[in-house]
Structures are given as C-alpha cells and as structure tokens.
Chains A and B, each alone.
Chain A
Amino acid sequence: MTQAAPGTAPHLLLDRLEKRFGTTLAVQALSLSVGRGELLGLLGPSGCGKTTTLRMIGGLMPASGGRIVVAGRDVTALPPHRRDMGIVFQNYALFPHMTVAQNLSFGLEMRKVPAAERAARVQKALEMVRLGAFAARRPRELSGGQQQRVALARALVIEPSILLLDEPLSNLDANLREEMRNEIRDIQQRLGITAVFVTHDQAEALAICDRIAVMRGGVLEQLGTPYEIYERPASEFVAGFVGRANRMAAVREASGAVQLGPLRLQGSGEAAPGPVTVMIRPHRIALCDAVPEGEGWNGATGRVARSTFIGDLLSLEVEIGGASLLVEQHTFAGRAMPRPGEAATLRWRAEDTLVFPRSAAA
C-alpha cells in the first residue's frame, strides 16, 4: 500500500504518520506515498483525519509520530515557512489588506525574488487563472470563484514543491464547483506539480484524482485509483462512502455462495464464511425478461414497490423476498415504465455483488 502510482517516482512519503489530541488518535500510523506530478485525494467524512493529515504535511500542525519525507528529505520537524509548500485554504485566506497582486507577490518577496522578476511572475500566474485584469483589486471586491483562483495562483506563483488543497471547492456553488475542479486539474497537469487534495465529496475525488486515499476514523481504509476505489472497494465503508449501494445482511456458506433470504447468490470478495454484508450498486442491476442461468450472473424476481421517473434515470424500489432493492436504469424513449405492484425480473453480475465481513459499525 505504500507504493507510488506506477511509472512515477515517489515525491512525498508519509511514514507511519500519527496525530494525537489528548488520548484520541486523529491519525493513526498513516503510510502512503505520492508520485511526482500525481494528484492524490484524501477522501473521507468529517473527522476522518484528512484535514489533520494535510495540516501535518504543510507543517501547520506538528505530527505526534512518524515522518514526512519530500524528495528524500525529512521535513517532519521543519516549520511551514521552510517547507516550500503552497496551500489553498477552504476559506481562501487571502490577505484582505493587500491587492491581488500584492497577495501573489508576498511569497516571492519572502523568497527574496528581485522586484522586476516578481512583477513578471505575478502577472503570469494571474493570467494562468484568467485574472490578468484584476491585479489591482482587493480580495473583497472579487466573487467567491475569483477569490478561489487568486488563492490558487498565490499558492502556485512560488513554484512550491507540493501543492496542498484543503476542501478548496466547498464554499462555491454547485455549477462553479465543477468548473473550478476541472480548472484545478488542468493547471495541476500542465505544471506537473505534485498535489494533495482534501475533500469529503466522493464525486470530486473520483473526477480529478490520480489516486484516492479513503480515510475513516484516522485510519487509511483504501488507497487506489478512482476505478479501483469504485469497482473494488476494500471494505463495506468504502463501498458505502464512494458511490451508492444497496446494503443487505446475508450469510456466506463454506462453498462461497451467499444466502440472502431465499436467494442464493454468487458474490465477489474475500469475506470468510459467516455473517456478511452484501452490497450492490443500484445502476448495476438491470431489468430483464427471465432470471439468467449460469456462471457469472445473479437474478431475482420481485414486485415493484415504487417507480420514479427522474428524466435521465428511472428509479425503482423492488421487493425481493423480504429485502428491498434500489434499481436505477438509464431511460430511453419507448422504455416500459414498470408500475407499482407489477412483477419485475432483475439480473446483475456476480462481480457487482460485493461481499464484506459484517461490521458492527458501518
């Protein structure tokens, strides 16, 4: 789990990083590495330790244990001003008493960059975020999205060795969020800068990260590409947090088959025989004419309890032998709309039937 993404040299390494607040462990033995030019997402619900981890990387909070290594150099004990990291804060944290240009220039002044070069680099950075004409404005005269772009430019103009982003999109409205998300990704790719992106929004993480570290209760639950996280979740928690899933209690037999009420299913996953949780994503279940026979497929018949047309999606609730399955289908003209009370036949793949050991809290 500590290997960098294939084909990239590790640039940032966290080695058994730990943070204690009194007796609680906010981050526990966190080990992972980020490749050069990689965008790593730290994803999890609030209180999972993702922001604490980011703050430790940036030096804003001392680590209680473990090491932080950047390009082979141990920076664990360095104060933030000597770490060479650009940080974009959730509330932007622009300097309100300075103009946009002065905000950008600040980091360069601290680095003793000559005035002429400063001006040129500030202008270039502002043009990169399409704010070339706003140099003389004060932060409060800008919109939220513009402030966000100033914060990004300010963090990047110093050409930091790592870019840290702490929930940078959470204060923007939904339309702008998607636009900014893509802009951040474009700029990160263009500059080839190593970046760590903290978010609680799984869609955001899936959309722009090279790899995602899913955290929960201070512990790394899974580290993988968006595809791996979504298709091969390592735990019931990851499967439930990333994307949506039907979640049902079942029993795994010694043969590997899973007994869900009267249904006998083929499932994927390493869970040992005994009580298990079965998870199936709603859009992986399809309506069909007959229960499929044979290897690789599961099927069931049931009764439609609720049918909702949401334009691009048809959302059904189907009762099958005591359990209730949420089923989502893409719509197309001419598709039959099952009505409540009608019988429905469903099928889904064995590999979409995720089986996890039953956990007490998930």
Chain B
Amino acid sequence: MIRSGPGRLFFTVLVALLFLFLLGPVLLVFPLSFAADSVITWPPSGFSVKWYLALLGQPDLALALRNSLVLAAIVTGLALVVALPAAVAIGRGQFAGRDALMTLISMPLLLPTIVLGLALLILFVGQGLIGSWTGLVLAHLLVTVPYALRVLVTALGTLPASVEEAASSLGAPALSVFFRITLPLMAPGLIAAAAIVFLVSFDEVVITLFIVGPKLTTLPVALFHYVESRTDPLVAAVSVLMVLFSLGLVAVLERAVGLRRAVGGKGG
C-alpha cells in the first residue's frame, strides 16, 4: 500500500477517475431525468419533475413494470427451488461428474447472451412459447439458475460438514438435518441468491427481446422500444427509479447478510 506523498495522491486520483468512468453514465441520468426539455440534451435548459409526472400517464410502461416484477418474483422462487437441491447435491454429494455438472449448469453464463437468445427463439417458436409467460420464465431461469447455484454452493462450502455430521450423530435423520441445521445456516446465502436472481431477471434485456410478444413485454424491453421511437427524458426518469430500486435492494442485502460474504468474497 502506498501510504503518503505524491504516490498516494496519484493513486487516489486514479481510483476517482475509474469510479467516474464506471458510474458516470449512471450519474448522468439523474440530472437528465429532471430536465425541462422535450428531447434529451446536455446540459438541460431547465429543471422540472414533469417527466416523473408523465410516467403516471404511461399505462404501457406501468403494465411492463408489473410484468417485470411478477416475472422476477416467479423466477426467483423457481430458481431457488431448482438451485437449492442442485447446490446440496454438488456441495455435499460424492458422485462422479460433480465438477462437470457444475460447469454444465454454469455454461449459460459463459455463452454470449445473444446466441442464447437466438437459440431460445428457434427452440420456442415451434412450441408456441414466444410471447408466453412460460417462455419468459424458462428463458430467465436459464440465465439466473447459474447465479443462484454459485451463491448457494459457496454458502454450503463455508458451512463445515461436521456440523451436519454432529446433528446426524445426535439422532437426526437426513431431512431433519437439512431443515433444522443446513437450511437455517444457509439463510444468508439464500437471501443473497434471491436478491441476485431477482435483479438479474428484472434487468434482463438481450434474451428477453427474442422471447417477448406484442401482448407480453417486460420493462427493460418496453424502454428499449420506447427509445427507438422517442428521445424525451422519460427514459431517464425510469432509469433513475430502476437504479434506486436496485441500490435499495443491494442495501437491504448488505444490511441483512453482508453482500460480500454472501457472494463468497473475502471481506464482510
């Protein structure tokens, strides 16, 4: 660590610039969302809250928001139901191909999402799943289960097997061990996995673009289409709300369990 002198100053400036580079675009939407102009311009000629008020008159966006929240909630529940037994099998089981299975389930994270989207489009068209809730849920599960699995396997990994063995030796059958010992001790991991899955689903746009139909769309896709035809600061207002929502969720998570610990970092 550089502790003092010009080196330290240089280091501080460098970090500040990096943060600015990373967060700049996000910070920019805050003043833009309060612009009084009718198209996005920089700097804004004046400030108002009219675009936030305009949001109230957008039933399409409201419906898309509702869809996104419902979808994220369903996906979160199902992803945990799928990932929890898988995590226990991979984290505690002794069978051939354990690592291969982990890699296989993680694969969707490594593939370009555009390729996944295309593949799903081709697969779903024949099954009538395009523009359906089932199709959306399946597509989102494909990209969220790997995250949930990673977090839950990490949570299990930090839980010494001897604690479960102790419970077992004290007379607890496998199911009692799981529900009385393993599951409560995995709570931080479960909360973290749920939050991450919810955010990933709520935020997913690339694959969703291929799956949505005229009657069923999500908020990110609706916004994407909105900016194709209009350039007013309404999207900035929506973006601000989405950023605040995500930050709120992360803050709750950090308060509840310590995010870094939950996702397997060293700190926390």
Contacts and interface: CB of A to CB of B under 8 A. Distances in A.
B176 A93 contact: no
Contacts of B46: none
A97 B184 contact: yes
Interface string A114-146: 000000000000000000000000000000000
Interface residues of B, number: 18
A97 B185 contact: yes
The secondary structure that dominates the A interface is loop
A80 B165 contact: yes
B176 A87 contact: no
A222 B234 CA distance: 83
Contacts of A80: 165, 168-169
Of A81, A83, A84, A89, chain B has the most CB atoms within 10 Å of the CB of A81
Given A93-B160, A93-B162, A111 B171 contact: yes
B170 A154 contact: yes
A59 B169 CA distance: 8
A84 B168 CA distance: 10
Given A96-B185, A97-B184, A97-B185, A107 B170 contact: yes
B185 A58 contact: no
A107 B167 CA distance: 7
B165 to A, nearest CB: 5
Most A CB within 10 A of own CB, among B162, B176, B181: B162
B171 A110 contact: yes
Given A95-B167, A97-B185, A106-B167, A89 B172 contact: no
Contacts of B43: none
A106 B165 contact: no
B166 interface: yes
Contacts, number: 68
A158 B168 contact: no
Interface string A59-89: 1100000000000000000011111111101
Nearest to A60: B165
B163 interface: yes
Nearest to B169: A87
Given A60-B169, A107-B170, A107-B171, A89 B162 contact: yes
Contacts of B112: none
Contact of A89 (B166, B171, B174, B181): B166
Contacts of A82: 171
A91 B163 CA distance: 9
A86 B165 CA distance: 11
B186 to A, nearest CB: 10
Interface of B: 160, 162-163, 165-174, 176, 180-181, 184-185
**Lowest 10 CB-CB distances: which A-B pairs, in order?**
A107-B170, A110-B171, A93-B162, A93-B166, A87-B169, A80-B168, A89-B162, A93-B163, A80-B169, A110-B172
Given A79-B168, A86-B170, 9 more contacts: A59-B169, A60-B169, A81-B172, A87-B165, A90-B162, A93-B160, A97-B185, A106-B167, A111-B171
Interface of A: 58-60, 79-87, 89-91, 93-97, 106-107, 110-111, 154-155, 158
16 contacts: A59-B168, A60-B169, A79-B173, A83-B169, A87-B165, A91-B162, A95-B163, A95-B166, A95-B167, A95-B181, A96-B185, A110-B171, A110-B172, A110-B176, A111-B171, A155-B169
